[in-house]
Amino acid sequence: MTTAIDHESLVRSAEEHGNRYIAAFNSGDLAVIDAMYTEDAISVWEPGNPLSGDARREALAEFIAQRPTMTATLRESHVTGTAALLVVDWAIDVPLEDGGTEHLEGVGLDVLRMGPDGNWRFAVDNPFGTDA
């Protein structure tokens, strides 16, 4: 059985996953970003169109090539054992060729799994979770 201290530690480490993801995203580090997903992870960057495997990686690479910047605030974190559900308010600004910026925002629902190495990874990355 997990003690209260162990549970609090798990919650903090799941929350820290988001901070590391934002740093990697904003630096454009695709290798680090990809390492933050399970091998069988799905991403739902377009409601109703989940992507996995190479399709997920290629879509992410195409988006990161636009040099977007992200901010995010954790709204809720629920952790049990090696699974976590995060509810995240996020915003992304994407530079446009004309010098403007496209602003995107949403409330994401993310499911994380803790790997055998103790690191949390996305199993489900659903940035438009409340819109689906």
**pLDDT tens digit at each of 132 positions of the chain:** 444 445 567 667 877 888 999 999 999 999 999 999 999 999 998 888 999 999 999 999 999 999 999 999 999 989 888 999 999 999 999 999 999 999 999 999 999 999 998 889 999 999 988 765
Residue 86 three-state SS: strand
* Cβ–Cβ under 8 Å, residues 128 and 44: yes
Taking the C-alpha atoms of residue 50 and residue 130, their distance in angstroms, rounded to an integer, is 15
Distance of CA 43 to the CA centre of its chain: 9
Q: Are 51 and 59 in contact (CB under 8 A)?
A: yes
- Beta strands across the sheet bearing 51-52: 51-52, 37-43, 120-126, 101-114, 83-95, 69-80
User: How many CB atoms within 10 Å of residue 37?
Assistant: 22
Query: What 3-state DSSP class applies to 116?
Result: coil
User: Under a CB-based contact definition with an 8 Å cutoff, are residues 73 and 106 in contact?
Assistant: no
